[in-house]
Amino acid sequence: MMLHYLKSYFGYDSFRPLQQEIITHILAGRDCLVLMPTGGGKSICFQLPALMMEGTALVVSPLVSLMKDQVESLRANGIAAAALNSTHSEGEQREVGERLRHGQLKLLYVSPEKLLAEKDFLLKATKVSLLVIDEAHCISQWGHDFRPEYTQLGVLRSDLPDVPVAAFTATADKITRNDIVEQLRLQPIATGEVKVFVSSFDRPNLSLDVRRGYSADEKIRVIMDLIRRHSLSEATDGNVVMQSGIVYCLSRKTTEEVATKLCARGVDARPYHAGMSVRDRERVQDDFANDRLPVVCATIAFGMGIDKSNVRFVVHYNLPKSMEGFYQEIGRGGRDGLPCETILFYNVGDLIALRSFADGSAQREINNEKLDRMQEYAESQVCRRRILLNYFGEAMDHDCGNCDVCKNPPTRFDGTMLVQKALSALARTSEMAGFRLVIDILRGNCSPTVREYGYDKLKTFGVGRDVPARDWQDYLLQMLQLGLFEIDYRDDSHLKITGQGRDVLFGRSKVQLAVIVREDLSVKGRKKRMAAERQLMLVGQQEDAVLFGKLRKLRMQVAISLGVAPYIVFSDKTLHAMATQKPITVSEFGNVSGVGEHKLRLYGKVFVKLIREHQGLTD
């Protein structure tokens, strides 16, 4: 029965992990808290019971844009849903009220303010089947996104004693979790405990990749390469279409600089940050969601309110502040389950800047601790996904095979000499130097500081000329990680040699360093790599790329005519399935994953027509 609903409304053949258990639990009329990562498939866990139960499910959601997205997706599947929030006119609200009274809505999305303000009316007019609290971590001051309005929601439990309450969130540590259960007054099951479903936080389709010590130019080159890798050549007119990606930056200024550099290289990229007007920000978000703008360079403010499922790459141009933030940001990629590439750039400048933010913040200790963990992740020499999942309390017993450490396990060499050169250069400045100055001395660059302090007279001046500056960056980061020196954040971030470092400097112990692997960013190297990847794609799946381009265009036309985002019409995943299965009858089309009965009725004919024409079938 449940499977039948899943197929006919959503077009899917099977449940994802935990979905079925959660739905069964809710249908039995019980409360629960669900922790699932972004993209894990939370919505279906309450949308499907809402369809099967008598009455209307109330869904509390904090963001207007998210509500709009979800309501559009539901309607696109032929499900009666509406939203009620401050952006609606009185007329619209009245209409929603009418539909509620007549029991015509299966789901009503409502902001917490609106729900509390209109409680009497809503509870009188509606036969509430289910109360859903989405983004439930907003209730807790411990969470990272506290909203005072949420704390009032607990009273609803007593207003609706017989209605099951289901709370959902993608981020919640133990404290937040308990806080949600308590504040929402969730009812325990027979064992005396409140049922909490925790699904795996692993997102195997997100690749993890960290690049150490890259310069600004090198970062841009890597990003350009990434963008090219994720471009499709449009079948008919030979135009190149770029797929969607986000570049997260630490500062507003950087978002603008990076966007400008990408534009100069022919990429349609725009910045997004809190310093822009609401209108400008909305426009960027809207264009991005609707596939009109491929790349957004954003501060962390971006991405909260969109359900866009086809983000194909996420770059962290700077080191993030915490693992929570990092995971949430990369989690905005690949929500349709298709591969999404993520790259994190890490260098010492970021570390110093973030340290000083943390030191100056109100929660100094916590923020420094969070940054430590982030740094450990970036410096890891073991499978990064293991560290990531471990951080979120999940044990993983195997390497993932989809991170840079797994793909290129570090090989080591005796780096004692290199380390001695660097540490002796540092020692001769009386440990009054940062990364850049040490590198200038090693490389023999007569920079103003070098000349001012007479470092060009040092015996070590120029002893590391044979190693490129960017490699020195990397080696110094490795040495930092090995504990050979520390950054003294209280003394202008100068480097201080540790006891362990002295042992190496004076020949009492040896050091192994990791060989630096750099991808070939030259044009020739790129072409070679792209050809290899294309080959791989051809072998992996029999997908017709030309057909995919045509389908994508048709999807865009349909989306424009309906005034919705393309992913509301069909997800990328569904489009890929079409280009692979190439259904040539409407009933075959109905078998494609993601095509429910409603969409089959609405779009089956036009899509099948296009596929038939593409296959040279005329009728």
For ligand ADP, which residue of 30, 35, 40, 137 counts as binding (CB under 6 A)? Answer: 40
Element holding 167 (H helix, E strand): strand 165-169
For Zn ion, which residue of 383, 554, 569, 600 counts as binding (CB under 5 A)? Answer: 383
The window from 38-46, 49-57, 228-236, 358-366 that contacts ligand ADP (CB under 6 A) reads 38-46
- State the binding partner of 85 from Zn ion, ligand ADP, none, CB within 5 to 8 A by kind: none
* 43 sits near ligand ADP (criterion: CB under 6 A): yes
For ligand ADP, which residue of 25, 30, 34, 39 counts as binding (CB under 6 A)? Answer: 39
Least Cα distance to 394 among 207, 201, 143, 175 occurs for 201
Nearer to ligand ADP (CB atom), residue 61 or residue 129:
61
For Zn ion, which residue of 406, 425, 450, 480 counts as binding (CB under 5 A)? Answer: 406
For ligand ADP, which residue of 36, 298, 389, 504 counts as binding (CB under 6 A)? Answer: 36
CB of 345 closer than 8 Å to CB of 214:
yes
* 199 sits near ligand ADP (criterion: CB under 6 A): no
The window from 33-41, 211-219, 440-448, 554-562 that contacts ligand ADP (CB under 6 A) reads 33-41
Total interface residues for Zn ion by CB under 5 A: 6
- State the binding partner of 383 from Zn ion, ligand ADP, none, CB within 5 to 8 A by kind: Zn ion
The window from 14-22, 293-301, 310-318, 404-412 that contacts Zn ion (CB under 5 A) reads 404-412
CB of 192 closer than 8 Å to CB of 181:
no
- State the binding partner of 15 from Zn ion, ligand ADP, none, CB within 5 to 8 A by kind: ligand ADP
Angle at CA 320, nearest 5°, toward 318 and 323?
150
Which token pair is 530?
Answer: 């792209």
Alpha-carbon gap, residue 171 to 386, rounded angstroms: 18
Three-state DSSP at 547 gives helix
CB of 579 to ligand ADP, least distance (A): 17
* 169 sits near ligand ADP (criterion: CB under 6 A): no
Least Cα distance to 460 among 472, 470, 471 occurs for 472
What letter represents residue 434's amino acid? G
The window from 59-67, 299-307, 332-340, 379-387 that contacts Zn ion (CB under 5 A) reads 379-387
* 49 sits near ligand ADP (criterion: CB under 6 A): no
For ligand ADP, which residue of 7, 9, 15, 358 counts as binding (CB under 6 A)? Answer: 15
CB of 574 to Zn ion, least distance (A): 29
DSSP string, 421-448: HHHHHHHHTTS---HHHHHHHHHT---H
Three-state DSSP at 269 gives strand
Strand partners, 168: 34
Cα separations in angstroms, 111 against 58, 222, 265, 387, 457: 10, 41, 42, 36, 68
CB of 338 closer than 8 Å to CB of 468:
no
For ligand ADP, which residue of 56, 61, 140, 309 counts as binding (CB under 6 A)? Answer: 309
CB of 374 closer than 8 Å to CB of 326:
yes
Which token pair is 5?
Answer: 């609903």
Q: How many CB atoms lie within 10 A of CB 16?
A: 15
For Zn ion, which residue of 50, 133, 400, 495 counts as binding (CB under 5 A)? Answer: 400
* 572 sits near ligand ADP (criterion: CB under 6 A): no
Rg of the chain in Å (alpha carbons):
27
The window from 37-45, 125-133, 240-248, 495-503 that contacts ligand ADP (CB under 6 A) reads 37-45
Three-state DSSP at 398 gives coil
* 403 sits near Zn ion (criterion: CB under 5 A): yes
* 42 sits near ligand ADP (criterion: CB under 6 A): yes
Quick one: DSSP state of residue 403?
B
- State the binding partner of 43 from Zn ion, ligand ADP, none, CB within 5 to 8 A by kind: ligand ADP
CB of 46 closer than 8 Å to CB of 26:
yes
Contacts to ligand ADP by CB under 6 A: 12, 15-16, 19, 36, 38-44, 307, 309, 335-336, 571
Contacts to Zn ion by CB under 5 A: 383, 385, 399-400, 403, 406
